[in-house]
Amino acid sequence: MEVGPDPAEVGRARRWARSRLAGSGIGDDEPLADTLVLLISELVTNAVVHTGCPAVLRMLFGGGGVRVEVADTSDRPPKPRHAEGEDTNGRGLELVDGLADRWGWQREGAGKSIWCEVDRAPAAGTLAQGSPSRVHC
């Protein structure tokens, strides 16, 4: 999905993501859907607000999870910040770091791509192939 350099595009990206998730079999009622939409919201917001450049949002399904990529034409690397107390900015990459199973960035053409991956947990009562049985208290 192409994203223009306008904060209103963040809402459009969230709607697009929900429709893609539904088409992939990930229902709106799954916690994974909310997590992915929040991650997309943060990454697209960062691209729009901090670069002022158009961006491209991609969602890739497979391997038991979902990969989200936001590519923009800015060559500035992402700069994680730490918000204090009542600050209204500076939490985006902290949220990505806390919610995604993996995340990072790479140069892409003249710009960069920031990506994150979220694993899809096995259904309740099942174990992923090769996973040891675990008891949580």
Contact 103, 46 (CB under 8 A): no
Q: Say if residue 18's pLDDT is above 60.
A: yes
> What pLDDT does 89 receive?
65
The predicted model scores a pTM of 0.81
Contact 68, 116 (CB under 8 A): yes
Q: Which pLDDT tens digit goes with each residue over 61-98?
A: 988 899 999 999 998 888 777 766 665 565 678 889 99
Please give the class, per CATH, of domain 2-119: alpha beta
Report the alpha-carbon angle 107-96-132, nearest 5: 105
Domain boundaries, the chain: 2-119
Q: Which pLDDT tens digit goes with each residue over 105-128?
A: 999 999 999 999 999 875 444 344
